[in-house]
Structure 1
Amino acid sequence: MLIAFVFCFVIALLAFNPKSNKSGDIPAHAEFIITVTWPDMNPNDLDTWVEDPAGNVVWFKKRDAGLMHLDRDDRGMANDTLLMNGQEVVNPLNQEVVTIRGFAAGEYTVNVHYYQSKDKKAVEANVSVVKVNPKAEVIYYGAVQLPRSGEERTACRFVVGSQGEVLSVNTLPKSIVESTQK
């Protein structure tokens, strides 16, 4: 329910954001929004890896690649404590967001990597891929199980046509982390 609420809130913000008349403002634009979440207050660090048709890969060490951008890199509970008005406030949400701000025809791969474990427990991550233009459409929503630190799972692979249309979606495994680290 929380994921659905956050998703609806983000879409509402995108839809109702008024146009600015200030010169120099560059409107934010996205074709796809990829969101990876895992349980609130979970101390473990999961990472989102996305590969585009040209072989560009976005991940926490390369936040911009091709037309993709890692908007939020979440490290579990690390750096989630804020000092506000003299009081410590904890942000319980574990969420990573990647935007694809244009599209190239071909296959995109979305993977989740269990980067670091603080409690040595398995983690389930929920993954959504939303095509936001011309209207919001969920093209994939599912979960991946990550049993231990170091594991990588393909959440989905989707093929985009020359006009930006989604032609197919599958969950066939494909390693990105291993091939990028070589």
Structure 2
Amino acid sequence: MIDDFDLLPRSAPFDPFSVVLFKALQALACLFFIVLLVVAPKAKDGKIDSKAEFLVSMDWPDNHPDDVDIFVQDPLGNIVWYRRRDAGFMVLERDDRGGVNDFVLVNGKKVPTSTRQELVSIRGIVAGEYTVNVYHFAALTGRPVPVTVMVQKLNPVVTIVAKETIDLDQGGSERTAVRFTIDGSGAVTETSRIARSILQTFYSARRNGG
């Protein structure tokens, strides 16, 4: 027999208790590994979460061809709009041109989307008054367009500061959706809809050589 040539080590005496203990340890290790997989957070490659204090959104009906723009001015006079998407702590996250650029890329192909929305995030606190205006850039249907503007305070919990719907009925018209004032801690102290033109700020600066 092969054992007669001492080519294989001889087996130790069989111990049932050791076998049961070893199997139990194997089961515990397996359970521990499963728990780690469940509890461990999933990695999100390429995703960066940026902190924002306020979010300003402007929506109009799905699939609408008209181009509507949002303008937001902070207490320091910074203005964010489609030609300046980053000003102060404000960022124009999405510029929607109606039916012109509403698509997403799927496998390298442009797929149309129905959503009509522009978004502005405010990522820091500057005390004072903010003005949110809407501008009817291109009126293609010749009919009034209902535009809804909502301002949300995101921290410490999400709360709606203001929500207004305005009917835009003429191309080139500018309307004030909301004006809101915050203090140094970011608390909203006042809101209003008193009309104030942001476009006039550009015209005044141009006349003054700015």
TM-score bucket (shorter structure): 0.7 to 0.9
Q: Does 1:107 align with 2:144?
A: no
Give me the TM-score of the superposition, normalised by structure 2.
0.71
- 2:52 aligned partner: 30
Which stretches of structure 1, 4 residues or longer, exceed 3 Å deviation after superposition?
A: 18-22, 81-89
Q: Deviations over 1:137-161 (max 9, x none)?
A: 0000111121111001100000000
Cα distance in 2, alignment partners of residues 65 and 86 from structure 1? 32
**Per residue, is there more strand in 1 or in 2?**
1
**Are 2:117 and 1:95 equivalent residues in the alignment?**
yes
- Give SS of 1:178's match: helix
Which protein has the bigger helix share? 2
Aligned amino acid, residue 128 of structure 1: M
What does residue 159 of structure 1 align with? 181
SS in 2 for 1:142: strand
Alignment match of 2:91 (pick from 69, 79, 83): 69
| Alpha-carbon distance in structure 2 between the residues aligned to 1:19 and 1:99 | 26
- 1:68, 1:83 → 2: CA distance? 26
For 1:148 and 1:132, the matched residues in 2 are separated by 33
Q: Residues of 1 paired with 2:108 and 2:115: CA distance?
A: 21
Partner deviation per Cα, 1:69-126 (whole Å, 9 max, x = no partner): 0000000011224574698632010000000000100000000000112222221100
- Structure with bigger RCO (C-alpha 8 Å, 6+ apart): 1
* Structure with larger Rg: 2
Q: How many residues align?
A: 164
SS in 2 for 1:127: strand
Residues 135-146 of structure 1 aligned to structure 2 (within 5 Å): 135-146=157-168
Structure 1 residues not aligned, in runs of 5+:
1-17
SS class of match (1:172): coil
1:136 is matched by which residue type in structure 2?
A: V
